[in-house]
Structure formats: structure tokens, C-alpha cells
Amino acid sequence: MIAYVTVGADDMTRAERFYSAFLPALGYKLEWYHGDLSYALPVAPGQRPVSPDFYVKAPFDGGSASTGNGVMVAFEAQNQSQVRNLHAAALAAGGQDEGQPGFRDAYGPRFYVCYLRDPQGNKIALFSSNPDEPGRDG
């Protein structure tokens, strides 16, 4: 099981604006921790944490943050409408479009997805595979 995912950022204010535009709508709560951003799903009393947490941090080595070619983090939305709304919110919060919301021929008929770049250049996907919604073929 994946416990957490971390992406690097050089500007935490811009990163917070971007990620806070959509992660709270997916249930994540923000906590600042030693100058970095920690987004986690809430834990009910007596329950184990729900993984993975998502962290935005300055690189430990003190160098500039960089993106990885082929590296992407995907967040599951409730439905296609939420994918569209969160894509728009992320763009308004400083993100860059890497693929408008919609179906892709290369994926299953219910995989509705959009792609973004955060202000640092990290690639983010928001998707829904809700079986109660129409798929690509109808």
C-alpha cells in the first residue's frame, strides 16, 4: 500500500493556492508542517489513517525542485462534473492545462480524465470511473 506521495515545490504559496483549489473538494485537509504542505484524508477516532497522504515539500537537499519525466499523481473524483469543475478551479489557481476533461481512446470506456501541471511543473490527473455515468460509447 502506498503510504504517501511527495512532489517538490520551490514556492509554497503558489503550491498551496493550486492544490487547495481542488484537494479539499476530494476530502483532503491541509496542514502546514515545517513550512511544507501536508494534505491528508480525515481519520475517524479509533480508525487507521486512510492512505496515501499527499505532501508538497521543498527538496531536502536544498536544491531546486524539478519534475520527473513520466511521473504523475492521479486523484479520483466522484463524477465527471467534479473532474470538470476541479480542472477549472486548478487552472484558475495557477495550474496549466495538459489535457482537457474528457474520455481518451487509449483508456477504458468509463475513464474520464483531465491533466494539469502545478506551478512547479508536476503533472497531476483528476479522473472519474463512476459506473453510474455514461461512458465514452454512450
pLDDT > 90? residue 128: yes
Question: 3-class SS at 124?
Answer: strand
Residues 41 and 29: their CA atoms lie apart, in Å, by 6
CATH number for 4-61+69-128 (one of 3.40.50.620, 3.90.180.10, 3.10.180.10, 3.30.420.40): it is: 3.10.180.10
Q: Strands of the chain (E only): list them.
A: 4-8, 29-33, 36-40, 53-57, 72-76, 96-103, 112-117, 123-128
Please state the rounded mean pLDDT for residues 43-62.
91
At 1, list the grid cell: 500500500
What pLDDT, on a 0 to 100 scale, did the predictor assign at position 68? 87
* Confidence band for 56, pLDDT divided at 50, 70 and 90: very high
* Confidence band for 61, pLDDT divided at 50, 70 and 90: very high
Indicate the domain borders of the chain. 4-61+69-128
To 10 degrees, the CA torsion angle through 16, 19, 23, 25? Answer: 90
Q: Are strands 123-128 and 112-117 parallel, antiparallel or unpaired?
A: antiparallel
What pLDDT, on a 0 to 100 scale, did the predictor assign at position 94? 98
pLDDT > 80? residue 138: no
Mean pLDDT in the chain? 95
